[in-house]
Amino acid sequence: MGPRVTVIGAGSFGTCLALLCSRHSEVALWARSAALADGIERDRRNPRYLRDVPLPSAIHATADLGEALAGSELVVCAVPSHALRDVLLEAAPRVPGGAILVSAVKGIEYETGMLMHQVMEDVLPSDHHPRIVALSGPSFADEIAREHPTVVTLACREEAYAISVQATLSSPWFRCYSHTDVVGVEVGGALKNVIALAVGIGDGQEMGHNARAALMTRGLAEVTRLGEKLGADRGTFLGLSGMGDLLLTCTGDLSRNRRVGVALGRGRPLPEVLEEVGQVVEGIQTTRAACRLAKRLGVDLPICEMVGKVVDGELTPAEAGRALMTRQLRSERE
């Protein structure tokens, strides 16, 4: 067997990553809810997420972080972005020295404007920092769990650690590429959810394929603009964690962000839609965080800004669309 793996977060993505790792390793799957962990142990299925996917005996579920992290050589974080800091504060004293840490979390911390790897660095001791890896790319958990071909990016400033994680996660249906642009990979993974909300809002109003293509293209320009301001390599946004993830999240029916956008475009109230979805929709919080960060940095993100105004009830979807279409004319290179 390979290195002992801990997956922190028993949602849909955490569960599918635990499945991947269990092919080569013993996996401890941490759930915040003891009832959820007990259900997984008893029934060998996750009672809330990917319910019809059987979980092998190599996966051990627990609600005890100390137990989950004991002896782990690879720690994968798959919790909602707003919960990452608090979970890591509890986990930090228990993370074994020398462990590689993988963030599968996509978002921007609202209060600080930090990307997820920066939150990890802010909480964890400095000796862990070189071994922080960001996982991103076009990947629906349901399709990974059903062994549909999926390709993602693993980014670490010390690329050797990303290559090490490749060996644990890769399978005949899950292919990982290594990268060193952690900032670019994380910005792409975060902001694609905001653009998916925008595309969904347009689709909900039946604005047509032209509008969808425009939102995706100009949305990618916004993602790139913010990423470059934060020090990312422009080329990263043409890869899996940029254009690849954007295409999937904006067009795939499994995308929660797109579905919420469609409902908003049809005039439904946000609280009602979120209650119906029943899972975290990262794009809502990321929209607010990205707009706040962009304002601080002096970066123009008009699509993100209009999504924020719709989400917060300041504009109707139709008003936001008109505002975008009647902005001052400019060069496409801007």
Q: Are 224 and 303 in contact (CB under 8 A)?
A: no
- Considering 106, 192, 229, 295, which one is annotated as catalytic? 192
State how far the Cα of 134 lies from the Cα of 112, in Å rounded to an integer.
19
Write the CA distances from 250 to 13, 125, 144, integer angstroms.
18, 37, 18
Give the E-state strand segments of the chain in sequence order. Answer: 5-8, 27-30, 59-62, 74-77, 100-103, 132-136, 150-155, 174-179
Write the CA distances from 246 to 126, 193, 228, integer angstroms.
32, 8, 17
State how far the Cα of 187 lies from the Cα of 27, in Å rounded to an integer.
29
Known active-site residue 295: no
Query: Of 202, 195, 201, whose CA–CA distance to 218 is shortest?
Result: 195
Contacts 24+ apart (CB under 8 A), 316-320: 316/267, 317/201, 317/204, 317/205, 317/264, 317/265, 317/267, 318/205, 320/201
Three-class SS state of 115: strand
Q: Which residues are catalytic?
A: 192
